[in-house]
Structure 1
């Protein structure tokens, strides 16, 4: 088996065509008499490196050994001479999956490993920068297939290279680098176990799963493998309580390719299931095409497919707020503001409008309500409507109108804000879910002035990607109060916005600061409703690309205050400047806060009239916007490594 890189392929083609590297027949060269070729250029060589790059020219698996030919260069692309160290592993494909036995295993051993110190090994210089490494592996035969891994260098002078997956069998794993690093982002840069073992392929791309499987194969140590934890156990067991509303049985989150098992005793199944489970045995035995992903998605326990179908086949619309002077209230003057929510099913050939009132009475829906918000400078700045004063009107077409008393005179602090409505409809899923764990649809209306005239379409800066929440919170349910994880948590903004001084477990105000704190700040120390710690703290907080795939433009953040009770606790409402509020959610020690305050930031301004119209004094973007001398991208990761 031979792998040719582009550099060597070009030389081979040139030689085959009889083309000189200098483009001449040699007659004009310094020593070109009689057509004799002139001296070729001598590429620079070095004896040390800070980075060691490896170009694998070929490898051959033979009886009892694996032979590699490769070239190494340093960070400046200079050829490296004086290499003294190399090591290689081969984890073999067996009837039980990938395995590499330790020398101490007393059964039939498979695979192997070797370094330059192994008896019978040789590391030979072929030319400047070019080497041959013969790695003795007694249990390997010419027909052995498996994952082959190589690394060279190490010591004081020549840095150790990245681990390289030289070859691997087709379909050897059904998870991918992309699915793992959707959460871990760049495992090689993490603080988790063995980050330095993160491997690349011969094209220089991260091959995370194959690199891990070289040691953590499908066979555990006591059964002839290398590590006690197989890759399946790491994925299936170690991630079961990864995060609130993370369903390990939503296999599609990690398994991009079909997972075909023919026996419950096979790889993966026995990690979670008893091997004598007759029902599951029967299901697996019924078809050689059995895809374990689909089986778990259909599981009645989690109802994942049902929730996915509900979300895929429904949507809602929300009308702009409008005045209805016929409304009568017990404690308020006649008249008020309304918005109308309609629910549609798109499952058939043509979409159908559903009757919200009937579905609510039947228990199919557990919630169908709305709020009227203040809207200023593309931000939600609170709710001027009195809490608990809403009344519902069921319309003949099946829509529902939700109405509040007239706003003028009730709360004069919103006189400079326009109005926008948000609605939420929730499908019930479980008998004991309290109405929250179903599937919700939230939508926002156009914006109107205080006479009901449209001023603009709804806009709200939302700097996260659509799937930034559902990558981890993958079970298609809601968080709480019917807020959905879809669309990057856009539903949450209806309650957690610039004008709602929510406590959020005393984490932070607003949406962005709350998310930062609940995952990596003071709010992360709290436990979820099941008593589990917030496991997002195990991930690198600086891996902002998990949510902010398009980066962050600090200059685009509206320069207006947000309500900030949660920074202080109790019932005292204050104001905070927005960048300071977001940064302080994680960087919350005294020195960090002092730095922010010195640059005009604040978390404890007293609330003033028309507070949402007042500009702040923070100047964070001057130094920390992307591209600046202390740009945010220099300290946080906004690009993926794959």
Structure 2
């Protein structure tokens, strides 16, 4: 087709030439006057060498905005314009990102609130103030569909540099005519339509880091509102690509500084939503969400559906779990923040506002009671006291020895411990039974019991609570007190009176006015339902002169999880075990949660049916309580209750705040779960179920993947696993071959498979 077209042009040219000469030798016409010069063409984009710019991105982490206060104009006195640069990645280097065609600009102001109701400083979205949505859209043609939008233009001489301007009459809708240019402003940008090298749009929002500044001076400034950091949220919700991982609402705006764009006092629920329990202003809303299970009886409709089963993993009164900045919870006292948790208080009528039913017209009265003294939020909530009070009750074991007993087959064990309460040795004659945190409401363990057991040379723990036919148990009240030293004397079987033993205490204490006191006292700061654990480090002693063995849980090289990571979300482990166990460390936990107990108090697995009922999965049961099994099961929703964390009828995990495949939420960073021989790093080679043993790797996988069907079990068996149906009497099991495919770095390594799902 092109050839024929070219031939036609050639023929036309020849015909024209013949026609021009066919008129003979007449004179040529005079030259005409010069024409008007044409308009110069638009300069072309300077040629850039390949690799010196980017037009695609593989991840939001490839992209970086740079905004300077001097380049941001968002007030009525300045008009509207925002200039910024955007870089991408090429061969690992930051390069200009070209071709951006759509953004949104967000502008907020931190206003001083003098109304007498609400926080002293409140965010206002300047677009919302104009009833113009929450942001200003900018496009290349200045239109957002058929609506006027700001115009986005890339600087041809400086690729990757963009300017957004308003080209229409009147002020840009993001400019608030009542705005205060001397107040702190927050501006950030969102980019749209960015794809990867395959043309697939990035799934995550592309957001700039918010810039907080004062427009009149262009100085960077703190708003005074950021008393909860994204880092605090990440302690429980995890982190992906540098931002908070599991905030599912609105597909994750990534940073608490961005959330207040919409969640501020201007976002008011309808009357129907208020009746259900909704609140949208950020601080009260976060309080309401995290107190969901606590307030479930007062919620209804969708509010109850979304929040009613959320269990806060730390002490609900521990404000510093989230407020890791300035203590605004103790200084910015206003009613709506309080009713976020204290949902049944009606400040207008005074209902449930103290025993006096105090009504108040506005928030100016709050500080008259709660501004100082014993009624400040920090004092009333005992903020930080759980950790501070951990050393008020100390039990430090100093020795353990055995001598022959008068009873055949037994030896007499003597244990000694230094004991102090409230910083002083306990007076002789004191009855420690007085300090029982009740008679242990669960009824499962002896109140204030000692943690006792043997440690084999390979680090395996054999708890004395599992001794058959009669468990060996002691509690603090069993000891004799003299000069601050508590002495225990007990006959134990010869089988337990050898090798290494461990000893500690799981005592709980009740606190009043910063001191350990009787749990029968009134006005307790920490009482029977939320006691404080005692400080009792696990000690190891040899009873027969042999070398002291170290339990696996006490050897950092054999543990792939970190207590610090547990505490980042839970505060302290003693709170998690509540009224039952005053334990803070894995070495205390191992007394019950070990691989030799051979039973579980939570054998079945349930999920939440479509009608809200508890449905038992008949195909999956567990019969051990090793620490990793229990932790995996509970955090993956494969437990026997519909509280806190559970699975729904579709198999989806609810209540767990972090991505469920993010092993690093609990495991050490870069932890190697497999040893060089293919077994577990812990060197655990079996787990007891009933009187028999099964393989540990398959059980570890199954405790999260509790949906494992017959095909999965067959896969376990084909790779050398002994499953519960095949349990054997020998605890020395061969190493499974799971590591061949699933060890770190392998084709189907845990690090790869779980990381892919998490992202």
Structure 1 length-normalised TM: 0.74
Aligned position for 2:532: 439
Contact 1:438 1:478 in 2 (8 A): no
* Alignment match, 1:626: 744
Aligned match of 1:501: 598
**TM-superposed deviation, 1:237:** 0.5
> What's the CA shift for 1:355?
5.2
Q: 2:85 aligns with which of 56, 71, 93?
A: 71
Listed as ranges, the matches of 1:6-405 within 5 Å are: 42=49, 44-45=52-53, 47-51=55-59, 53-58=63-68, 59-64=71-76, 65-76=79-90, 77-96=94-113, 97-100=122-125, 113-116=136-139, 117=143, 119=148, 121-127=150-156, 128-134=159-165, 136=172, 137-139=174-176, 142-143=181-182, 145-154=184-193, 162-168=206-212, 170=222, 171-186=224-239, 190=245, 192-194=247-249, 196-199=251-254, 208-221=255-268, 229-240=280-291, 241=293, 242-243=310-311, 246-257=314-325, 258-259=327-328, 264-265=333-334, 268-271=337-340, 272=342, 273-276=345-348, 277=353, 278=358, 284-286=366-368, 295-299=376-380, 307-325=386-404, 335-345=411-421, 347=423, 352-354=424-426, 358-363=430-435, 367-376=447-456, 377-383=458-464, 385=467, 387-388=470-471, 390=473, 392-405=478-491
Q: Deviations over 1:14-54 (max 9, x none)?
A: xxxxxxxxxxxxxxxxxxxxxxxxx9985734554445624
Q: What is the rounded CA distance, in whole Å, between the counterparts of 2:637 and 2:200 in structure 1?
A: 40
User: 1:479-490 residue pairs with structure 2 within 5 A?
Assistant: 479=577, 482-484=580-582, 486-487=584-585, 489-490=586-587
User: SS of the residue aligned with 2:697?
Assistant: helix
Q: Name the CA distance, whole Å, in 1 between partners of 2:85 and 2:454.
A: 65
Given that 1:447 and 1:458 are in contact with CA atoms closer than 8 Å, whether structure 2 keeps it comes out as no
State the SS of the aligned residue for 2:564. Answer: coil
Mapping of residues 580-595 of structure 1, within 5 Å:
580-588=698-706, 589-590=708-709, 591-595=711-715
Q: What do the CA deviations read for 1:556-608 (whole angstroms, capped 9, x no partner)?
A: 6244444443xxxxxx4431222322221102212444333322233325342
- 1:602 aligns to 2:722 (yes or no): yes
The alpha-carbon deviation at position 440 of structure 1 amounts to 2.3
Change (3 A) 1:625 1:346: farther
For the 8 Å contact 2:412–2:489, the answer to whether it is kept is yes
Matched residue, 2:23? none
Distance 1:357 1:447, change over 3 A: same
Aligned mates of 1:74, 1:239 — CA distance in 2? 37
The residue matched to 2:73 in structure 1 has which SS?
Answer: strand
1:553 and 2:650 aligned: no
The structural deviation recorded for 1:419 is 3.3
Kindly provide the CA deviation profile for residues 124-182 of structure 1, in whole angstroms up to 9, marking residues without a partner as x. Answer: 12122222112632326555633212012316669566211331251222101111010
The one-character-per-residue Cα deviations of 1:341-375 (angstroms, maximum 9, x if unpaired) are: 3323574xxxx433597251433666443243231
Paired with 2:637 and 2:654, the residues of 1 have a C-alpha distance of 12
The whole-number CA distance in structure 2 between the counterparts of 1:426 and 1:356 is 21
Q: Call closer, same or farther: CA 1:446–1:311 in 2, change over 3 Å.
A: same
Secondary structure of the 1:362 match is helix
Compare 231-240 and 516-525 and name the one that shifted more.
516-525
Q: 1:405 to 1:524 in 2, by over 3 A?
A: same
**How many angstroms does 1:214 deviate by?**
1.6
Q: 1:524 to 1:515 in 2, by over 3 A?
A: farther
What is the alpha-carbon distance in structure 1 between the residues aligned to residue 317 and residue 431 of structure 2?
Answer: 30
Max Rg structure? 2
Question: Can you list the C-alpha shifts for 1:62-95, whole angstroms capped at 9, x where unaligned?
Answer: 4445422223344324534332211111122223
State the alpha-carbon separation in 2 of the partners of residues 250 and 145 from structure 1.
Answer: 29
Give yes or no for contact 2:419–2:486 (8 Å, CA) kept in 1: no
Mapped contact 2:507–2:582 kept (Cα < 8 A): no
1:545 and 1:291 mapped to 2: Cα distance? 42
Which whole-Å CA distance do the structure 2 matches of 1:305 and 1:438 have between them?
Answer: 14
CA gap 1:49/1:494 in 2 versus in 1, 3 angstroms: closer
Write the distance in 2 (CA, Å) between the matches of 1:393 and 1:228.
Answer: 54
SS of the counterpart of 1:443? coil
Measure the CA separation in 1 of the matches of 2:562 and 2:373: 30
Q: What is the rounded CA distance, in whole Å, between the counterparts of 1:158 and 1:359 in structure 2?
A: 71
User: Cα distance 1:334–1:130, how it changes in 2: closer, same or farther (>3 A)?
Assistant: closer
What is the deviation of 1:185? 0.5
Q: How many residues align?
A: 562
> Distance in 1 between the 2:225 and 2:527 partners?
43
Q: TM-score, normalised by structure 2?
A: 0.64
1:422-461 equivalence runs, <5 A: 422-428=504-510, 431=520, 437-441=530-534, 442-448=536-542, 451-456=544-549, 460=553, 461=558
Instruction: Classify the secondary structure of the residue corresponding to 1:151.
Output: strand
Name the structure 2 match of 1:35. none
